[in-house]
């Protein structure tokens, strides 16, 4: 496959409130390493990734340099960028700092440490072929759409539902335009693909794995330890 | 609260294929008891439940009697009913065997052992007030509705999405009519509420907890053990 210059943006500015922890949840440990280190390592180990941009909060840039960058060794060039108030703003700050050579952009979560080599490859390939793609898994629960009073409005067919994860992957021009327009128009989406969707770009789902969880609550740490033990 | 005769129907006929196990997943153990025993105990301990109907596959009725009923002691009257080919048919078989006194029907899953006393009470109260209600939790993932080619069609607003669980709870006449019509018209829904929804009955969401998980895959067993340890 032809090797386009590929950048991954990893926002790692989440406050970890739901963890009851003082530090951002990405710095909590699974196994014997911070979650963010597991996450970065996955991309660092991929030969298809040329640049890693980590977006942290302004206050935690120093912590990140001392506790992560100076203690762990990565081979891929890493840039640290200060984030904004919202995740979306943080990603946009990351986008403004990519290499001029970047043709493919992956946007991942710092708190998704179980992304696999194969899923990274599928994401890059998907961006090349489709322009925009997101990793996702089929929804197992029955989902109901409800009104504000808590009454069911409809039950979408389960076969049509996907829970999307990251990486969300794009050709550079598409995601740049999507974020620029969203910023100009003060549109806030729940994920990056939504910003491209609203401009009419087709988004392809790439089937991923249920193990690619986001570590958000203390329960997720327990699950994370179990996934890690299994994969060792 | 006025104490209407309340029956819980617990389908426990699932084959456990995804567990890679020979016996149905409900008979696997968490802590030192089969999952189905944890589940039945929760309803047995509620003073608001007057009757428990367990629906097993025809082949496992003997196993259930020997391994569960003769080894564990429950105070609430328990009836065992043979299930059908589909979960929906199993529930309907259960409904045909309820006490003539039953005014409120709860339909639960044999593989959801972490239902709490409070959630059972809220479910019964909800059925009295609203006619039909389902326990559910807010969806944390971004969900996308996709077409058959795997392209995103829309991203419903996350605030409107609920992942529904069980119990799903009903006034007897509503759920009886819903199942009878579905059977006559060969309509198969992903959950019991859908059968009432299609007849135009309003369904109210009752907010539950993320711990009320369904044990479906081996990973869920690990999570289940963690939830159990926490609650002891």
Return the domain boundaries, chain A: 6-231
Q: Which one of A140, A146, A226 has the shortest CB-CB distance to B162?
A: A146
Q: Which residues of B touch A187 (CB under 8 A)?
A: none
Alpha-carbon torsion, ordered A168, A173, A177, A178, to 10 deg? -10
Average pLDDT estimate for A61-71? 94
Min distance A157 CA to chain B CA atoms (Å): 9
- pLDDT of A22 reads 67
What residue of B is the nearest CA neighbor of A158?
B190
* Cβ–Cβ under 8 Å, residues B58 and B67: no
Taking the C-alpha atoms of residue A82 and residue A13, their distance in angstroms, rounded to an integer, is 9
Quick check: B144 and A203 CB within 8 A? yes
Whole-number average pLDDT of chain A: 93
Alpha-carbon torsion, ordered B7, B181, B193, B186, to 10 deg? 120
Min distance B111 CA to chain A CA atoms (Å): 14
Best residue of A111, A131, A141, A197 to probe chain B, by most B CBs closer than 10 Å? A141
Residues facing residue A55 across a β-bridge: A11, A81
CB B71: neighbour CB atoms within 10 A?
11
Quick check: A161 and B144 CB within 8 A? yes
In tens, the pLDDT along A186-213 reads 999 999 999 999 999 999 999 999 999 9
Quick check: A143 and B146 CB within 8 A? no
Q: Answer yes or no: is pLDDT of A18 > 60.
A: no
Q: Answer yes or no: is pLDDT of A232 > 70.
A: no
Q: Which residues of B touch A226 (CB under 8 A)?
A: 219, 222-223
Taking the C-alpha atoms of residue B113 and residue A126, their distance in angstroms, rounded to an integer, is 40
Going by pLDDT thresholds of 50, 70 and 90, the confidence category of residue A23 is confident
Average pLDDT estimate for A84-113? 97
Q: Answer yes or no: is pLDDT of A131 > 90.
A: yes
Taking the C-alpha atoms of residue A91 and residue B55, their distance in angstroms, rounded to an integer, is 51
- pLDDT of B204 reads 98
Full 3-state SS string of chain B: CCCCCEEEEEECCCCCHHHCCCCCHHHCEECCEEHHHHHHHHHHCCCCCCEEEEEECHHHHHHHHHHHHCCCCCCCCEEEEECCCCHHHHHHHHHCCCCCCCCEEEECCCCCCCCCHHHHHHHHHHHHHHCEEEEEEECCCEEEEECCCCEEEECCCHHHEEEEEEEEEEEHHHHHHHHHHHHHCCCCCCCHHHHHHCCCCCCEEEECCCCCCCCCCHHHHHHHHHHHHHHC
pLDDT under 70: residue ranges of chain B:
1-2, 14-22, 232
Quick check: A152 and B226 CB within 8 A? no
Q: What tokens appear for B66 in the block?
A: 């020997």
Q: Nearest Cα to A113, choosing from A44, A169, A164?
A: A44
- pLDDT of B50 reads 98
Quick check: B190 and A158 CB within 8 A? yes
Average pLDDT estimate for A164-179? 98
By DSSP bridging, strand B142-146 and strand A161-171 are antiparallel
Min distance A29 CA to chain B CA atoms (Å): 18
- pLDDT of B221 reads 87
Quick check: B210 and A203 CB within 8 A? no
- pLDDT of B216 reads 85
Full 3-state SS string of chain A: CCCCCEEEEEECCCCCHHHCCCCCHHHCEECCEEHHHHHHHHHHCCCCCCEEEEEECHHHHHHHHHHHHCCCCCCCCEEEEECCCCHHHHHHHHHCCCCCCCCEEEECCCCCCCCCHHHHHHHHHHHHHHCEEEEEEECCCEEEEECCCCEEEECCCHHHEEEEEEEEEEEHHHHHHHHHHHHHCCCCCCCHHHHHHCCCCCCEEEECCCCCCCCCCHHHHHHHHHHHHHHC
Q: From chain A, which residues contact B within 8 Å (Cβ)?
A: 134, 136, 139-147, 150-153, 155-156, 158, 160-165, 189-191, 193-194, 197, 202-205, 210, 216-217, 219, 222-223, 226-227
Quick check: B144 and A227 CB within 8 A? no
- pLDDT of B16 reads 55
Best residue of B87, B139, B146 to probe chain A, by most A CBs closer than 10 Å? B146
Quick check: A142 and B191 CB within 8 A? yes
Q: Which one of B139, B204, B216 has the shortest CB-CB distance to A150?
A: B204
What CATH homologous superfamily does A6-231 map to?
A: Spore Coat Polysaccharide Biosynthesis Protein SpsA; Chain A (3.90.550.10)
Cα–Cα–Cα angle for A150, B142, B147, nearest 5°? 100
By DSSP bridging, strand B204-207 and strand B142-146 are unpaired
- pLDDT of B231 reads 72
- pLDDT of B225 reads 86
Q: Which one of A197, A202, A226 has the shortest CB-CB distance to B155?
A: A197
Q: Nearest Cα to A216, choosing from A120, A111, A140?
A: A111
Q: Which one of B144, B161, B203 has the shortest CB-CB distance to A164?
A: B144
- pLDDT of B15 reads 65
Min distance A162 CA to chain B CA atoms (Å): 5
Best residue of A155, A209, A218 to probe chain B, by most B CBs closer than 10 Å? A155
- pLDDT of B71 reads 96
Best residue of B142, B200, B210 to probe chain A, by most A CBs closer than 10 Å? B142
- pLDDT of B219 reads 77
């Amino acid at each position: 496959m032809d090797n386009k210059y590929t950048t991954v943006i990893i926002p790692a500015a989440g406050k970890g409130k739901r963890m009851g922890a003082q530090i951002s949840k990405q710095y909590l440990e699974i196994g014997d390493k911070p979650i963010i280190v597991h996450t970065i390592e996955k991309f660092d180990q991929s030969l298809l990734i040329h640049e890693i941009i980590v977006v942290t909060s302004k206050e935690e840039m120093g912590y990140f340099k001392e506790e992560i960058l100076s203690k762990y060794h990565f081979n891929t060039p890493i840039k640290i960028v200060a984030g904004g108030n919202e995740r979306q703003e943080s990603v946009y700050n990351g986008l403004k700092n990519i290499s001029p050579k970047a043709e493919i952009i992956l946007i991942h979560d710092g708190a998704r440490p179980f992304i696999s080599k194969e899923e990274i490859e599928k994401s890059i390939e998907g961006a090349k072929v489709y322009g925009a793609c997101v990793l996702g898994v089929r929804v197992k629960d029955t989902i109901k759409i409800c009104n504000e009073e808590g009454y069911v409005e409809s039950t979408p067919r389960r076969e049509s539902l996907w829970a999307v994860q990251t990486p969300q992957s794009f050709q550079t021009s598409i995601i740049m335009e999507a974020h620029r327009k969203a910023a100009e128009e003060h549109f806030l989406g729940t994920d990056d693909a939504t910003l491209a969707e609203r401009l009419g770009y087709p988004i392809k789902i790439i089937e991923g794995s249920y193990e690619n969880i986001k570590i958000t609550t203390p329960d997720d740490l327990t699950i994370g330890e179990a996934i890690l033990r299994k994969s060792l």
